[in-house]
Structure 1
Amino acid sequence: MADPIIEAEGLGIRFVRNRRRQLRLRELFIHRGRRGAADGQFWPLREVSFSVGAGETVGVIGRNGTGKSTLLRLIAGVLIPDEGRIRVRGDVAPLLELSAGFSNDLTGRENLYLVGGLHGLSSGYLRRHFDDIVSFAGEQVERAIDTSVRHYSSGMKVRLGFAIISHLPHPILLMDEVTAVGDAEFRKKCYATIDRLLGEGRTLVLVSHNEKDLTRFCRRGLYLDGGRLSVDGTIAEALDAYHTAVPR
């Protein structure tokens, strides 16, 4: 059996609520790391273990604040776990914060090459796909492609960001409520693109509160409760667990 494309073992990460509070050297020496909840530390995820095979489609479900988006960021390598480990065997296309990485001082064209390059795409690849990417982003972006991004609306930035990331050839898709953005026409484009990518055998991990999206795209569900993995089963089983905890 082939190795899983994503593998989490005992995964945990610790945050501090008041990040601006700095301990003095004397306090660090006295307490030697024993400070915990009293310092506002909390674990949005802890003891989470699962594996995902190539081509699987997985929905991550849970109430707000249960670590869903944090889990995606751990898979993407944006966050580093404090406990356990996460192994990802393949490049990741992160449809998370779609305008992340943009520089307001650069034009849309320059940002396209910047963000694409940050995700490992060559300038030659981006030149070949430039017209397709910009066309996907829509007429507004096409007309403003040589204008500074600081003059773009938030919707235009999201459209350009999705257009870039969705053209990555990477085998793993991470999506966080991405189909909730944009107008109806843009969402239709998003759905068609996701269907095409999944048809190519990509692996999908999707965070969404939209049950239609979850049941449309995902066969498997991970239900997080209090930062722990409570259910790992079919998408229907994970949704049932969610509805039991949060009655409609």
Structure 2
Amino acid sequence: MRRKKTTSTFEALKGIDLVIDEGQSVAILGFNGSGKSTLLKLLSGVMKPDAGSVLTRGQVAGLIEVGAGFHPELSGRENVFLNAAILGMSRSQIEERYDDIVAFSEIGDFIDQEVKHYSSGMFMRLAFSVAIHVDVDVLLVDEILSVGDAPFRAKCRGKFDELIAAGKTLVIVSHDMEMVRELCTRAVVIRKGTVVFDGDVEEAIDAIAA
């Protein structure tokens, strides 16, 4: 009524221009709120850019939020079929890999419980297990491995090594610099929505605090 401005605009990312080659393992680094998770959501197709374009090639799977793509009222078993279908697997493929998915997740005793009763760690185990059993070309991972225990995180890192050896593309958001050093050959540092460094991992880690 008084013509006062009642909304505001926040640009999460500004002028991002990146090319990630097939088979690269790239870390996206920066402080909380810098725009890292937004970038992964754009790559996964969860969000659309207001300007410009995002082009991906091949099958993309994203582990962006714990429990994303899971229905809380359905059991773990039902959610395996639901989430795997969302990621592009056929029912026959899901049935063929179902036992391997559950075995990797290590939550077989709870697979027929509704997932609303799962802990964040159980969510992560099942979500990660489904994603890495998809015939994926690009895997996007956003810090969710921090909710798992040490033995399971080690097993996940081993799976990452397998994907890298198979020539898959990994894009990882993480504050775990040791994991970044072990898995990634390139790092991009984002600060306040803009890229301030793109290159060597060690130099990128130094650039975060610069």
Relative to structure 1, the CA distance from residue 178 to residue 104 in structure 2 (aligned partners, 3 Å threshold; closer, same or farther) is: closer
Superimposed CA distance per residue, residues 46-84 of structure 1 (whole angstroms, 9 cap, x where no aligned partner): 001010110011111111111011100000011110121
Superimposed CA distance per residue, residues 202-222 of structure 1 (whole angstroms, 9 cap, x where no aligned partner): 101111111101111111111
1:216 aligns with 2:182: yes
Length-normalised TM-score, structure 1: 0.80
List gaps (5 residues or longer) in structure 2: none
* 8 A contact 2:64–2:141 mirrored in 1: yes
Match of 2:67 among 95, 99, 121: 99
**Which residue of structure 2 lines up, in the alignment, with residue 135 of structure 1?**
103
Q: Which amino acid aligns with 1:103?
A: H
CA offset at residue 135 of structure 1? 0.6
Which structure would you say has the larger RCO, counting Cα contacts within 8 Å and 6 or more residues apart?
2
Poorly superposed stretches of 4+, deviation over 3 Å: none
* 8 A contact 2:29–2:36 mirrored in 1: yes
Length-normalised TM-score, structure 2: 0.94
Match of 2:153 among 168, 177, 187: 187
Q: Which amino acid aligns with 1:239?
A: I
> C-alpha separation between the residues in 1 aligned to 2:18 and 2:93?
34
List gaps (5 residues or longer) in structure 1: 1-23
Match of 2:139 among 173, 194, 198: 173
CA offset at residue 97 of structure 1? 1.3
Residue 127 of structure 1: SS of its match in structure 2?
Answer: helix
Residue 222 of structure 1: SS of its match in structure 2?
Answer: strand
Q: Determine what percentage of the aligned residue pairs are the same residue.
A: 40
Residue 11 of structure 2: SS of its match in structure 1?
Answer: strand
Count of residues paired in the alignment? 210
**Which residue of structure 2 lines up, in the alignment, with residue 88 of structure 1?**
56
1:70 aligns with 2:38: yes
Superimposed CA distance per residue, residues 125-157 of structure 1 (whole angstroms, 9 cap, x where no aligned partner): 01111111001111xx20121222222222212
CA offset at residue 104 of structure 1? 1.8
Residue 50 of structure 1: SS of its match in structure 2?
Answer: coil
**Which residue of structure 2 lines up, in the alignment, with residue 203 of structure 1?**
169
Residue 173 of structure 1: SS of its match in structure 2?
Answer: strand
Structure with more strand by fraction: 1
**Which residue of structure 2 lines up, in the alignment, with residue 150 of structure 1?**
116
* 8 A contact 1:179–1:191 mirrored in 2: no
> C-alpha separation between the residues in 2 aligned to 1:243 and 1:130?
44
